[in-house]
Structure 1
């Protein structure tokens, strides 16, 4: 009898197990354990290696897919960041240009306003000096206004 059968019959277990007992526990049991232990065909080393290779390739494929997804997210985040920084730079440049244009326009408006005030002062001086110049030329203020008709007739109006 084998040692495992002895253990079952006696009810005590031995702390020392043989290599055959350990491998028997790791092997799957079928309906007929005798056939499973002695007559079952084992996987060839190549088939087991292929199964391990396929599972390793699947793990590597999943890791590559996950890395691609991560890379896409990182690239997308970098593109968004760079485009927002570039857009911000463009907007800031445009704002500075507009600020300079506004400043120049305000300065131009200030110069034109000053020119208008100077011209109005000159006009007021000329209007004030007009009666004196007219009297120097011998003109007298008219009591009545005169309208000249195109036909040549003169009409007096009050």
Structure 2
């Protein structure tokens, strides 16, 4: 038992020494690197954006888009019940789209229904990466085949 306590104290001492050396090295390096560059140095080296891909080749983030949609071919089960369209009774396939935090469903008959029991977390879990961009909601729905 005493041997384990000695070994633990020795490990703690070594750890403390390593941390002390690492912090001292960090302080030394941070003093050597200037925080701001002069105008001539900034003009000579390209900015991060110039070194990166052109803006038109960047992948769109979800914040850049007005909304997203997915085709959902299986019956949509929410809280143990199969979701049906309130107007026509269709239960699949759905186009599920999100605008902000609101999730909407569109049935094959073209009826849009707000679904308060689904949220952005559910949508993100069931959707993949952005593949296509469309100018309007109708163009997107045509593209997913409904």
Output the TM-score relative to the length of structure 1: 0.24
Query: Could you say which structure has the larger radius of gyration?
Result: 1
Output the TM-score relative to the length of structure 2: 0.26
Which of structures 1 and 2 has the larger relative contact order (alpha carbons within 8 angstroms, sep 6+)?
2
Q: Which of the pair is proportionally richer in strand?
A: 2
Q: Which of the pair is proportionally richer in helix?
A: 1
